[in-house]
Amino acid sequence: MYIYILKRIFSLVPVLFVVSIVAFLLIYLTPGDPVSVMLGQEATAEQIEALREQMGFNDPLYLQYFHWLINVLQGNLGDSYFMHMPVTTAIVEHLGPTLSIAVLAELIAILIALPVGILAAKHRGSLMDQFVMGFTLTGMAIPSFLFGLILMLVLGVKLGWLPVAGYQPLSTGFWNYLQYLLMPGLALGIIQSALIARMTRSSMLEVLNADFIKTARSKGVKERSIIYVHALRNALLPIITVVGQTFGLLLAGAVVIETIFNIPGIGQLVLNSIQSRDYAVIQGVILMVAFFYVIINLVIDLLYMLIDPRVGY
């Protein structure tokens, strides 16, 4: 079992290697010289040369990558040229709201998707099932930022239930903190729940067709425990995978949606950096999110071992 865990961790190395190369090379996709693009048209040749030297652009590419990687491995993602601070600091300062939204959205998504998916599978073909399928189809067709706008229009502008923009940190009180996050959280979470509900339904349907469900029924197990004990425990595996994978999507979604609600998170950092051509920040953010994604998937794989006794042997 420990060998399995080690193997699984080791398998991340090539993926992370590719991730780092992609993030590193990102800057070189800029049409023209990234340094002169960063400095703008008024920059003098000396300024450009100075920055080139400072950023190590005059070294051969592999050496640049090597230096960069060493720094990244030490937690140093370079400096923001525009904000005059380390990228790591900038990211940490903006991470709170984004993570809060992603976590809240994940909770909302799971709370909606699990019961809805299970119910649809249990009453397959019924009106309720069709309703759930309609919900998942529509949900998957709406971009989360659009749903955010719609919620803003209805809950914020028309009904005035929730504040339409802004952010209050947790230190100002839990309700204060929550009410600003609720709309973006709902927007992301409800949209995400469509995918998870669909997955839950199909996974439950598959398990409910399995022979061991018939066995359980034949020995007198109550319908309730057939669904919630025998079937759900098996159906959970693919559901957990989706939940894990969508956490990456939710992080990315949070980045987008917070720009609608004027929340000072990673999204705002990214948009500002795009405007100021602060490539190091963009590079840092994308590297961090990919790293999150990889680690979450690792955690999920390890979680599998707790749920499915077949894994790890």
Binding to other proteins (CB under 8 A) within 272-301 occurs at 273-274, 277, 279, 282-283, 285-286, 289-290, 293-294
Burial 13-27 (b: 16+ CB within 10 A, else e): eeeeeebbeebbeeb
Integer angstrom CA distances of residue 165 from 143, 157, 162, 263: 19, 11, 9, 7
Integer angstrom CA distances of residue 278 from 30, 40, 168: 12, 12, 27
Residues numbered 80-139 forming contacts with other proteins, rule: CB under 8 A? 123-126, 137-138
Residues numbered 166-195 forming contacts with other proteins, rule: CB under 8 A? none
Among 92, 214, 228, 299, binds other proteins (CB under 8 A): 214
Q: Does 219 bind other proteins (CB under 8 A)?
A: yes
Tell me, by CB under 8 A, how many residues bind other proteins. 79
Q: Does 140 bind other proteins (CB under 8 A)?
A: yes
Q: Does 152 bind other proteins (CB under 8 A)?
A: yes
* Residue 168 or 292 with smaller CB distance to other proteins: 292
Q: Does 160 bind other proteins (CB under 8 A)?
A: no
Q: Are 261 and 183 in contact (CB under 8 A)?
A: yes
Q: How far apart are the C-alpha atoms of 263 and 184, rounded to whole Å? A: 9
Q: How far is the CB of 153 from other proteins (least distance, A)?
A: 6
- Give the pair of three-digit tokens for residue 40: 């703008």
Q: How far apart are the C-alpha atoms of 300 and 297, rounded to whole Å? A: 5
Q: How far is the CB of 175 from other proteins (least distance, A)?
A: 25
* Residue 22 or 63 with smaller CB distance to other proteins: 22
- From 77-85, 103-111, 182-190, 265-273, give the range in contact with other proteins by CB under 8 A: 265-273
Q: How far is the CB of 204 from other proteins (least distance, A)?
A: 10
Q: How far is the CB of 172 from other proteins (least distance, A)?
A: 26
State the amino acid at position 285 in one-letter form. Answer: V
Q: How far apart are the C-alpha atoms of 95 and 32, rounded to whole Å? A: 32
Q: Does 262 bind other proteins (CB under 8 A)?
A: no
Relative to beta strand 79-80, strand 85-86 is: antiparallel
Among 50, 128, 271, 300, binds other proteins (CB under 8 A): 271
Q: Are 87 and 79 in contact (CB under 8 A)?
A: yes
Among 110, 120, 260, 263, binds other proteins (CB under 8 A): 260
Q: How far apart are the C-alpha atoms of 66 and 70, rounded to whole Å? A: 6
* Residue 177 or 182 with smaller CB distance to other proteins: 182
Q: Does 17 bind other proteins (CB under 8 A)?
A: yes
Torsion over CA: 122, 126, 132, 133 (sign): positive
Residues numbered 221-240 forming contacts with other proteins, rule: CB under 8 A? 221-223, 230, 233-234
Q: Are 263 and 184 in contact (CB under 8 A)?
A: yes
Q: How far is the CB of 215 from other proteins (least distance, A)?
A: 5
Alpha-helical runs (H) found in 152-265: 174-208, 211-218, 223-225, 232-260
Among 256, 300, 303, 305, binds other proteins (CB under 8 A): 256
- Give the pair of three-digit tokens for residue 162: 């929730």
Among 24, 30, 57, 238, binds other proteins (CB under 8 A): 30
- From 1-9, 24-32, 64-72, 111-119, give the range in contact with other proteins by CB under 8 A: 24-32
Among 9, 146, 170, 299, binds other proteins (CB under 8 A): 146
